[in-house]
A and B are shown apart, each in its own frame.
Chain A
Amino acid sequence: MKKLLLALLVASTMIFPIFANGETETEQASGPFVPQQNIEWYCTSSPGGGSDIFTRTIIDIINEEGLANGQNIVMQYKTDGAGEVGRNIVSNIKGDKANYTLLTFNSGDLMPMCKNTNLRFEDFQPIAHMAVDKHLIFIGENSRFSSFEDVIEALKNGEQIVLGGSKGDDIACYNALLKELGVESTQFAYIAHDGSGAAITAMLGNHIDLLISKPASASQYVEAKRLTPILALSTSRFPGNLGVAPTLSELGYNDVESPNWRSVIGPKNMSPEAVQFWSDVLGKVSESDKWNDEYIELKKLVPDYMDTETYSAYGAKFQADYLKTIGKDK
């Protein structure tokens, strides 16, 4: 008898954890989508990074404003294979689960995905584009340049210049800049660092000539006068203390920009009703005060909500342009 009770106790403690996650499904009526179970939100970079903060901010806003029918949103970090495994998993999710899966996706994810795997934008369901980030070029305190015109002069004289930045979208911007200026990478070299922090460190220590970075990482150094922006890689000047930097068109060239966008996508098999639902939710998030005042302001991003249709077109074009630059267009 004792043994039986013990066995039952053990068995019940084993089953318990299974019930702790997730709730049972109810039948989905056809009609507008309302979440009835836990939602899994995938993030393919490690906790604490930009994508993580982006995702968590949105989840917080959704929870605070009760936009997901009170259902739990669980974050799933899948950083294996530099994030490719996580993206692969999401693209393959089928069935009802597809309506409850979301993925944070940036241009910095799209580019290595196209370069190193066979996955493409079409393998996912775009939901909404949330914000955009653009780049600037900076000099340090004891730089031998005082403006970007000096840099152009130096390049014309055959001098060698080293530009430092992070990986991913910074590199794409550098490549676009090379093309526009008409110089070779042998003269104007690039060093990819593990993150903006590392690149800024290198600049502050004067180990590189120029720095390419985004406003969020660099603005406090501009305020402290350790960095000075000398070029805005955008179609218009930046606000605030970054406004001293001209754009390329002011210097007689075509503007160059390589926007680093942040968006949310889902598995290809997500139902149209669910897509509509999530797109609306994200639209509401993008209009909320918390999003604009606490996140966008802080990170100095450019808010740029695009709903599903607009984003699908935008993303597809971005990918096509990128594939052309790496020679993979079919």
Chain B
Amino acid sequence: MGNSKFGTKNILPLVTLIIGLLFSSLGFFKYGFWDKNIGTLPGFFPTIIGILLIAVSALAFFQSLKEENNYSKLENWYPVFAVFLIIASTFVFGMYFSLAAFLIFWVRVYEKCSWKTTIITFLIMFVIVFGAFGTWLNIQFPKGLIFNAIF
């Protein structure tokens, strides 16, 4: 599985090329390149690296035209969606609840494990999250709108 048509492998070097262009132009025009008294200005280094990036990205782009594609499955992206959902949910329900809900949902519903596995996994993670980070190291996790409103 894999073909040489246009895909992510080709887009990547184009993206980095644009990044290089962005930084080098901002660097040169906005932040300044060289001052005869103090030498390099804030834009000096980024501009040089940006130009290097443009050159190398172009090279990589032409290389990529000969390469095979390596597609990922949608499933690989599930953790990403999960994290975004957790972030959104944290605003409303707080982090503890969102993480707990995520764990239980993923293990039980998505992976279809038994309740026993789910509970054990949950309790172990609970000890780590609440016990180690929350209580011992005293990290204040967000409580979310709902709990903030109640308490």
Contact = CB atoms under 8 A, between A and B. Distances in A.
Q: Are chains A and B native binding partners rather than an unrelated pairing?
A: yes
Given A6-B115, A14-B97, A186-B37, A22 B151 contact: yes
B134 A17 contact: yes
A6 B94 contact: no
A219 to B, nearest CB: 31
A69 interface: no
B96 A14 contact: yes
A214 B38 CA distance: 26
Given A18-B147, A22-B151, A186-B37, A10 B104 contact: yes
Given A6-B115, A10-B104, A189-B38, A17 B130 contact: yes
Nearest to B139: A77
Contacts of B122: 10
Contacts of B100: 10, 14
B119 A17 contact: no
A3 interface: yes
Contacts of A189: 37-38
Interface in A4-30: 6, 9-10, 13-14, 16-18, 20-22, 24-25
A76 interface: yes
Interface in B5-57: 37-38
A6 B151 contact: no
A21 B104 contact: no
Interface string B49-83: 00000000000000000000000000000000000
Nearest to B94: A18
Interface SS majority for chain A: helix
A9 B151 CA distance: 23
B70 to A, nearest CB: 35
Contacts of B126: 13
A18 B100 CA distance: 13
B135 interface: yes
A237 to B, nearest CB: 33
Interface string A13-49: 1101110111011000000000000000000000000
B96 A74 contact: no
A28 B113 CA distance: 50
Interface SS majority for chain B: helix
A293 B97 CA distance: 46
A158 to B, nearest CB: 14
Interface string B88-116: 00000010110010001000000000010
Contacts of B104: 10
Contacts of B38: 186, 189
A18 B96 contact: yes
Given A10-B104, A13-B126, A21 B119 contact: no
A175 to B, nearest CB: 15
A10 B97 CA distance: 11
Given A18-B96, A18-B151, A20-B135, A74 B140 contact: yes
Contacts of B96: 14, 17-18
Given A17-B130, A18-B94, A189-B37, A76 B140 contact: yes
A55 B151 CA distance: 26
Interface in A135-188: 186
Contacts of B37: 186, 189
20 contacts: A6-B115, A10-B100, A10-B104, A10-B119, A13-B126, A14-B97, A17-B96, A17-B134, A18-B94, A18-B147, A20-B135, A21-B140, A21-B143, A22-B151, A24-B151, A25-B151, A74-B138, A76-B140, A189-B37, A189-B38
Name the 5 nearest CB pairs between A and B, nearest first.
A186-B37, A14-B100, A17-B96, A22-B151, A17-B130
Interface of B: 37-38, 94, 96-97, 100, 104, 115, 119, 122-123, 126, 130, 134-135, 138, 140, 143, 147, 151
Interface of A: 3, 6, 9-10, 13-14, 16-18, 20-22, 24-25, 74, 76, 186, 189
Given A22-B151, A186-B37, 18 more contacts: A3-B115, A6-B115, A6-B119, A10-B119, A13-B123, A14-B96, A16-B130, A17-B96, A17-B134, A18-B96, A18-B151, A21-B140, A21-B143, A24-B151, A76-B140, A186-B38, A189-B37, A189-B38
